[in-house]
Structure 1
Amino acid sequence: MKKSNLTLGTSVAAIALAAASLTPTVSAFADELVIESWRTDDLEIWESQIIPAFNKSHPDIKVRFAPSPPTEYNANMNAKLTAGTAGDLITCKPFDASLDLYNKGHLTKVDDLPGMENFSSVAKSAWQTDDGSTTFCLPMASVIHGFIYNKEAFKELGLEIPKTIPEFMATLEKIKEDGTYIPMSMGTADQWEAATMGFQNVGPNFWAGEKGRKGLIDGTEKLTDPQYVKVYEHLAEWGPYLGKGYKGQSYPDSQNLFSLGRAAIYPAGSWDISTFNGQADFEFGAFPPPVPAGQETCYISDHTDIGLGINAASKNVEAAETFLSWMASAEAGSIFSNALPGFYALSKHELTISDPVAQEFVSWRGKCESSIRNSYQILSRGTPNLENDLWNTSVGVINGTMTAEEAAKKAQDGLASWYKPQQ
């Protein structure tokens, strides 16, 4: 995606600022809360399920969900917060965007808020200062990585769910030999999915989840270490099983191939569940990333996606804290997770979800250790950007234009060029 030029960006920000100052969303009435969000698709869910459930125990606090178009949210929020016209509760994107709002004084500390004890350090990491001492948004939901598979295809071909990487590769080979289905539907044209549904999906099993992620941050591990090279070596094995033309295949193309029943396996994010629920006319299931042979502990990417913070300028802080504490409850987590299959409340409460595939994904929390994408906290602030380097290198090894060692060296050299702990 091309970046807007400075003049255009400045004009948009100025217009948004002017509009925000003319149309304030902060309630004029005490204890009426306005929630700012980029999730326009969720408006009906908040109005019909989440807010009514909250009002059953807090009928005196009015709540209004006021989303902005996703592409305009960042500019709108910066403008409204600067003008003092933003809502009481601010939906928080993970990591640097929200950290910037906190550093500018727009978000309050929530460490002592009742209910924060329900969240793990991994869940809170996306909305904390770099040293982990302050949390400024309540973790709301994550997405989980794994593999979605066509149950009918597996039954037809007599396939079992693979638990180890050798079993996984043997399964792909059997599907390829049969010829009825594309073994796995993923393309490399858009690049990001090779890293997101490839590298970040299977990688935590190699670098031991949070141990490896934090090791990159503190400099005790490097991307040229064997555990990272092995991730690239595994991705290099995928190419022959992605079907003809995969190098020109986009993300929507990959979704369509699977939903049409032409592919047996789909490297997935749990957000894909709703898409396939609406498009696939066959039964599908999910399995977690297979582990290397002989490894007992499994790791999953349970990636932080959305949080909720309190506007430091809110006139209704007490009511906002009450709502935020309720959002930390098991009741709120269950409502949110069932209303949006594939988006999971980040609290420690055990979730029971009606959608069977969404329930399968979240059940892995009880079997595996959770981590988040290793390029998202701190390590993509410089140039070259580690996240973008992982896109490029993941595509390179899958397409066969780069060896695993070359990919690891490129990613490491880029990170070490600007990040002192890696120098």
Structure 2
Amino acid sequence: MTTKTLRIALLTSTLLAGAAAAQDTTLTIESWRNDDLLIWQDTLIPAFEAANPGIKVVFAPSAPAEYNAVLNSKLDAGSAGDLITCRPFDASLELFNKGQLADLTDLEGMANFSAVAKSGWSTDDAAKTFCVPMASVIHGYIYNKEAFAAAGVEVPKTEAEFFAALDKIKAEGSYIPMAMGTNDQWEAATMGYNNIGPNYWKGEEGRLALIAGEQKLTDAQWVAPFTQLAKWKDYLGDGFEAQTYPDSQNLFTLGRAAVYPAGSWEISGFRAQAAFEMGAFYPPVPAAGDECYISDHTDIAIGLNAASPNAEAGKVFLNWVGSPEFATLYANALPGFFPLSSTPVTLEDPLAQEFLNWRATCKSSIRSTYQILSRGTPNLENETWNASANVIKGTETPEAAAARLQEGLASWYEPQK
């Protein structure tokens, strides 16, 4: 081959490569989850690109606290990425109502999700869905198996068994029965009231009845979780009133507490910190024979920028997010963030699998305050933080807390007036 022929061959191959590259579509993902950048870069994106040659994906997160403001500015300016990571409920609903998130109701992959799974990213009437659900977090209890063995207790199934176990752990004396404080307030509601509450108000049945105005926060099934929380005080250890959320995490992972009222997002951190064997159990039911319910809370989804010039490629990616392959990859890369698709997934982390197994035993619901009921002032979610902390401390009775929340909700929410 002559030098001239070689130059022509090299030039031709360069031009062909350039033409092929020009045909590639690049999708950019906006997200607040900057902590999982490597999971996207090393696991999720390579798997998608291998199955979809011609579509490249760039994961471009913002700082979590700045995400809403940054995203809104980009969307308004027309500079946002093609795919938008969606927070649950009102923030994403507002973007859809403004025409900035595309309607994905008829996307093929949506068939893989239940109404509960889609609830965080659907219109109030559930007629339209605008983000593909990615993961939920599940509430329950994580426990120290060594502490249970020392006190000679089994995993409790009923509320009576739960308090009997805490009494035995307290009497044995080696461990604080339960690690939780009330200083930060939110955990008293999130890992307290909304953890145990679905067993009393029957999950979605009660939550939707509250939204419809058919039940009130002063009804027995809504006061009952506060009544249980009022009993927790005796098991939380000295100084729990000043104990912060990180304090509670440290108490448990250092092996000083037997039980931790938990969200499944703790799994990875606890795995790294705790030197003992852990197990998990779902919230014990009020009485033997009662059906169990879990807070299986919608946490993160992904939608399509309505102004994206790459909508077709974006839908290919979103259908993949709805697939069993994505669910398995994501759930194993982030133990404790569980797929919301209807296809069963097997997890490599046994503690995460324990949480996930509860879906086969108990009915799933979401936190009672998150959809519709916290749009006004006073904000029901934030008020529930305060009320839950007060009830645990004993500075407000269960009945008074419930009455205060009901009065606040009824002051602005028409169906409750």
User: TM-score if structure 1 supplies the norm length?
Assistant: 0.93
How far apart, CA to CA, are the structure 2 residues paired with 1:230 and 1:68?
Answer: 41
Amino acid at match of 1:84: G
Counterparts of 1:396 and 1:274, CA distance in 2: 30
* 1:80-113 deviations in Å (ceiling 9; x for gaps): 0011010000000000000111111100110111
| Alignment correspondent of 2:108 | 114
1:245-324 aligned at under 5 Å gives the runs 245-324=239-318
Answer yes or no: is the 8 Å Cα contact 1:258–1:265 preserved in 2.
yes
Matched residues in 2 for 1:253 and 1:295: separation? 36
- Partner deviation per Cα, 1:258-307 (whole Å, 9 max, x = no partner): 00000000000000111111111111111000001134311000000001
Residues 1:374 and 2:374 are matched in the alignment: no
Larger radius of gyration: 2
Cα displacement (A) at 1:55: 1.7
CA–CA separation in structure 1 for the residues paired with 2:157 and 2:201: 18
2:136 partner SS: strand
Once the two structures are superposed, residues 44-95 of structure 1 have per-residue CA deviations (whole angstroms, 9 ceiling, x without a partner) of: 0011111111122211111111111111111110010011010000000000
Q: What SS does the aligned partner of 1:238 have?
A: helix
2:170 partner SS: helix
C-alpha deviation, 1:330, in angstroms: 0.6
Q: Choose which of 35, 45, 54 in structure 1 pairs with 2:39.
A: 45
SS in 1 for 2:108: coil
Aligned mate of 1:209, from 199, 203, 213: 203
Match of 2:338 in 1: 344
Q: Is the 8 A contact 2:122 2:128 kept in 1?
A: yes
Number of residue pairs the alignment of both structures matches = 397
Kindly indicate whether residue 132 of structure 2 is the aligned counterpart of residue 138 of structure 1.
yes
Q: Which runs of 4+ in 1 moved over 2 A?
A: 27-30
Distance 2:22 2:379 in 1: 43
Query: Structure 1 unaligned runs (5+)?
Result: 1-26
Quote the offset at 1:239 in angstroms: 0.4
Contact 1:30/1:316 (8 A) holds in 2: no
CA distance in 1, matches of 2:66, 2:24: 28
**How far, CA to CA, are the matches of 2:58 and 2:388 in structure 1?**
43
| 1:404 aligned onto 2:398 | yes
Which residue is equivalent to 1:147?
Answer: 141
1:61 equivalent in alignment to 2:55: yes
In structure 2, stretches of 5+ residues that fail to align are 1-20
Shift of 1:30: 5.6
- Higher mean C-alpha displacement, 152-161 vs 346-355: 152-161
Q: Describe the SS at the equivalent of 2:30.
A: strand
Tell me the CA shift for residue 163 of structure 1.
0.4
Matches within 5 A, 1:22-41: 31-41=25-35
Calculate the aligned-residue CA RMSD, in Å: 1.1
Residues 29, 248 of structure 1: alpha-carbon distance in 2 compared, 3 angstrom cutoff: farther
Name the counterpart of 1:124. 118
Structure 2 residue aligned with 1:235: 229
From 146, 149, 160, the equivalent of 1:166 is 160
The separation in 2 between residues aligned to 1:255 and 1:213, in whole angstroms, is 29
Tell me whether 1:416 sits opposite 2:415 in the alignment.
no
Q: Is the 8 A contact 2:147 2:169 kept in 1?
A: no
What secondary structure is seen at the aligned counterpart in 2 of 1:63? Answer: strand
Question: How far is 1:360 from its partner?
Answer: 0.5
CA contact (8 A) 2:24 2:54 kept: no
Matched residues in 1 for 2:322 and 2:180: separation? 36
Q: 2:294, 2:363 within 8 Å by CA — same for their partners in 1?
A: yes
Equivalent pair of 1:30/1:315 in contact (CA under 8 Å): no
Q: What percent of counterpart residues are identical?
A: 63
Deviates more, 1:292-301 or 1:45-54: 292-301
Change (3 A) 1:293 1:410: same
Paired position in structure 1 for 2:324: 330
Query: Deviation of residue 156 (structure 1)?
Result: 2.0
How far the C-alpha of 1:29 sits from its partner, in A, is: 7.2
> Which letter does structure 2 place at the counterpart of 1:310?
L
Partner of 2:80: 86
Residue by residue over 1:99-154, the C-alpha shift from the partner in whole angstroms, topping out at 9 and shown as x without a partner, is 11111110011011111011000010110111111101011110000000001111
Matched, 1:182 2:176: yes
**Partner letter of residue 47 of structure 1?**
Q
Tell me if structure 1 keeps the 8 A contact 2:150–2:172: no
Give the TM-score normalised by the residue count of structure 2.
0.94
Helix, strand or coil: the match of 2:260?
strand
